[in-house]
């Protein structure tokens, strides 16, 4: 499928033809997505008409790169002037969809602000899914735009977003990440629904991945999907099944995470979710089932890995109290 880089390359080669189709100019299109584009700006500044470059095109591209830098310098604080400048590019080049992407990416950063009214954020998501399907359908849109960060970080009442994301999933069923968002949205109000969507998410990313026999690894596909998403999905299910008192299923996903840890010990990014937290969940299930022997075995394994003072917090007091009662 097409990517954001494909879109930017296609669009910018049309409107900045003398620069980006110039054999004397070598610009990495990935760098054009980077808001810190000083190196490209310096390169462009040194180009002249003798290089076969149309100076008006050069100056226009420098101005746009400057706008992207200013959007980054805003650090997530809304700047109406910056937003309006992105809109002016869209109006000036109505057939250049890349400028719509850059506006959405800027707005996504802004909507991380907890001070934003929920209805503003709701309208933002509705607008993106309904009016920009040509962008949403791109293979890496969610990742490159950071579109989903505001919804995952927001404390807004989840009920505001149920209909929007259910409709989005109906429209874009290949976007597995939308199932994870729905799972997160339902966590506080409907555990069964949360589990249902998370199971669908896990099933889809597993069915979409391919196995590389040469490297002995799975290659994940889909918008923003990586091995980290696989780990997060399994951990989320272990937690959700535990909270829902479905201990057999929770233990099953804990086991899957621990198996993953054994074969990926070098991947420090997921140590907490693939070893420590699954072991904590297992110990709590052993406590509820009064399975003393299993608790002893797992707790000793935790203790060998962590200093006890690292666990001496309110979060783990129940495990420490149970271990003390067993005189461990």
Per-10-residue mean pLDDT, the chain, length 328: 90 93 82 78 86 92 91 75 95 95 90 78 94 96 91 88 97 96 95 98 96 89 90 97 98 96 73 90 96 95 77 84 85
Helix or strand run (H / E) with residue 34? none
Q: What pLDDT is recorded for position 268? A: 57
The β-bridge partners of 211 are: 218
**Residues 182, 168: contact at Cβ < 8 Å?**
no
Determine how β-strand 217-219 pairs with β-strand 210-212: antiparallel
How many angstroms separate the Cα of 294 from the Cα of each of 217, 275, 324? 32, 16, 15
**Residues 126, 160: contact at Cβ < 8 Å?**
no
**Which is nearest to 132 in space by CA: 107, 110, 160, 155?**
107
Residue appearing with tokens 């990440």: 177
Q: What pLDDT is recorded for position 75? A: 65
Phi-psi region of 306 (alpha: psi -120 to 50; beta: other; left: phi over 0): beta
**Cα-atom radius of gyration of the chain, to the nearest Å?**
25
Q: What pLDDT is recorded for position 66? A: 92
Q: What pLDDT is recorded for position 269? A: 57
**Which is nearest to 326 in space by CA: 281, 290, 279, 285?**
290
**Residue 4: which residues within 8 A CB-CB, separation 6 or more?**
33, 101, 138, 140, 141, 144, 145
Q: What pLDDT is recorded for position 80? A: 86
Per the structure block, which two tokens stand in for 233? 């999905």
**Residues 52, 21: contact at Cβ < 8 Å?**
no
Would you call 210 helix, strand, or coil by DSSP? strand
**Which is nearest to 146 in space by CA: 199, 104, 87?**
104
DSSP 8-state class, residue 272: I
Q: What pLDDT is recorded for position 1? A: 65
**Residues 113, 78: contact at Cβ < 8 Å?**
yes
């Amino acid at each position: 499928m097409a990517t954001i880089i494909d879109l930017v390359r296609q669009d910018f080669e049309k409107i900045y033809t003398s620069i980006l189709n110039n054999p004397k100019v070598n610009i990495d299109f990935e760098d054009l997505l980077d808001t810190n584009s000083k190196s490209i700006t310096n390169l462009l500044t040194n180009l002249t008409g003798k290089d076969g470059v149309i100076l008006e095109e050069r100056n226009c591209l420098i101005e746009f790169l400057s706008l992207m830098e200013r959007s980054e310098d805003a650090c997530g604080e809304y700047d109406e002037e910056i937003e309006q400048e992105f809109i002016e590019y869209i109006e000036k080049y109505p057939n250049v969809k890349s400028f719509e992407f850059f506006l959405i990416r800027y707005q996504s950063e802004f909507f991380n602000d907890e001070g934003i009214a929920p209805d503003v954020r709701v309208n933002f998501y509705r607008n993106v899914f309904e009016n920009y399907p040509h962008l949403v359908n791109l293979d890496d849109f969610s990742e490159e735009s950071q579109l989903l960060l505001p919804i995952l970080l927001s404390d807004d009442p989840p009920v505001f977003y149920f209909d929007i994301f259910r409709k989005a999933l109906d429209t874009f069923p290949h976007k597995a990440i939308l199932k994870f968002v729905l799972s997160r949205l339902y966590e506080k109000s409907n555990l069964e629904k949360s589990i249902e969507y998370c199971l669908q998410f896990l099933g889809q990313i597993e069915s979409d991945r391919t196995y590389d026999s040469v490297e002995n690894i799975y290659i994940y596909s889909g918008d923003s999907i990586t091995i980290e998403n696989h780990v997060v999905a399994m951990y989320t299910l272990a937690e959700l099944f535990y909270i829902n008192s479905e201990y057999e299923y929770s233990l099953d996903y804990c086991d899957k995470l621990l198996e993953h840890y054994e074969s990926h010990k070098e991947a420090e990014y997921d140590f907490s979710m693939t070893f420590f937290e699954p072991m904590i969940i297992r110990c709590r299930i052993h406590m509820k089932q009064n399975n003393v022997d299993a608790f002893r075995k797992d707790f000793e394994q935790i203790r060998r890995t962590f200093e006890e003072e690292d666990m001496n917090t309110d979060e783990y007091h129940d495990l420490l109290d149970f271990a003390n009662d067993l005189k461990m």
